Amino acid sequence: MRSKIQELKKMFDRQLQEAKDSPALEQMRVEFLGKKGNITGLMKELGKVPNEQKKEYGQMINSFKQQLTDQLEVARKELQKQEELMAVNSAEAYDESMPTDHPVGSYHPITLVQRELEEIFKSMGFDVEDYNEIVDDFHCFEALNIPKFHPARDMQDTYYLDTPNQLLKSHTSAAQNAIMIKYGKALKEEGRPIKAVFPGRCFRNEAIDACHENTFFQMEGIMIDKDISISNLIYFMKTMLSEVFERDVTVRLRPGFFPFVEPGFELDIQCLICGGEGCPSCKNSGWLELCPCGMIHPNVLRYGGINTEEEPYKYTGFAFGLGLTRLAMMKYGVKDIRVFNEYDLNALSQFISK
């Protein structure tokens, strides 16, 4: 009798482990505790045991029955909980084809302007590239003709990381070298001009005001081929601005110094907030520095593996570094640049793309 009970217990435990739903548990209850079940079978066998052992075995069978009843009850409750949870989950399952009353999100105005510009440049044959936010000294400065301790580094108060030689990208020009290397082979071997724009987040330790942030966006662009000149640069800048603003905007081009271009220019836009009269958005000058640009310095081309000598071909190119955040200010009439980083949903969700 004792060994029979042990055997049944093992069988019960094994089945209980495998029981995955309520019907399986019910089947076990019938098999072990039902009228014609195993416990009833044990009771019947009790009749055959000697009288002096009947009491002991009787108690053994009763406590075995109680044990199985308790175990089945615990398992039933557990399974019930799981089944309820599954029912809730499947009722709440996300169905993207269902209409919703929940308000949908909106794109950040800088994302909208960035995408619009990407489309404009793509339509003019430019590739769109992405680049890291953490870069090294070589890419951010040295490859751009700004050696260590060059005074031009002071123009960008840079965040250096604890990791040696790593810093937060202070301008999108930091990607120029990598883009030249990526597309240089096709330029040399297939004569395919390098035409790429690369938007990105930039970081500088700025004194923040209505037109300066410590975290802002730029969109860099380069074009390199045989015979690229300032006329090409001016053509692309004009086309880009007229497409973005869809109206006449007054711009001015003046000389600007950047060690990675020669000659270099500052392209300013007349402030669209005050119409040129002067306001905090343009630091009361009536003009906003928007898109410095110039002809890529031969040293920078050489760092990028691009030939600058007459043989076999002499390549030249232009580069520009558009202030994307400032462009968004002008396009949407946002008076203060800080609005873009303040995460005020009421302010940010009102912009829509064209």
The reply to whether 145 sits near ligand FA5 by the rule CB under 6 A is: no
Q: Which is nearer to ligand FA5, 25 or 319 (CB)?
A: 319
Q: Which is nearer to ligand FA5, 26 or 136 (CB)?
A: 136
For the CB of residue 207, give the shortest distance to ligand FA5 in the complex, in Å: 9
The reply to whether 320 sits near ligand FA5 by the rule CB under 6 A is: yes
Interacting residues of 286 by C-beta distance below 8 A, sequence separation 6+: 270, 271, 274, 276, 277, 278
The reply to whether 325 sits near ligand FA5 by the rule CB under 6 A is: yes
CB 9 within 8 A of CB 64: yes
DSSP 8-state secondary structure symbol assigned to residue 341: G
Closest-CB residue for ligand FA5? 323
Radius of gyration of the CA atoms of the chain, in A: 37
For the CB of residue 218, give the shortest distance to ligand FA5 in the complex, in Å: 5
The reply to whether 290 sits near ligand FA5 by the rule CB under 6 A is: yes
Interacting residues of 294 by C-beta distance below 8 A, sequence separation 6+: 233, 256, 258, 260, 261, 262, 263, 264, 265, 318, 319, 320
Q: Which is nearer to ligand FA5, 68 or 174 (CB)?
A: 174
The reply to whether 289 sits near ligand FA5 by the rule CB under 6 A is: yes
For the CB of residue 345, give the shortest distance to ligand FA5 in the complex, in Å: 22
Applying the rule CB under 6 A, the residues between 204 and 223 that interact with ligand FA5 are 204, 206, 212-213, 216, 218, 220
Instruction: Give the chain's length.
Output: 354
Among 180, 240, 261, 272, binds ligand FA5 (CB under 6 A): 261
How far apart are the C-alpha atoms of 132 and 138, rounded to whole Å?
A: 14
Q: Which is nearer to ligand FA5, 195 or 204 (CB)?
A: 204
Q: Is the dihedral of CA 331, 335, 337, 342 positive or negative?
A: negative
The reply to whether 314 sits near ligand FA5 by the rule CB under 6 A is: no
How far apart are the C-alpha atoms of 187 and 315, rounded to whole Å?
A: 10
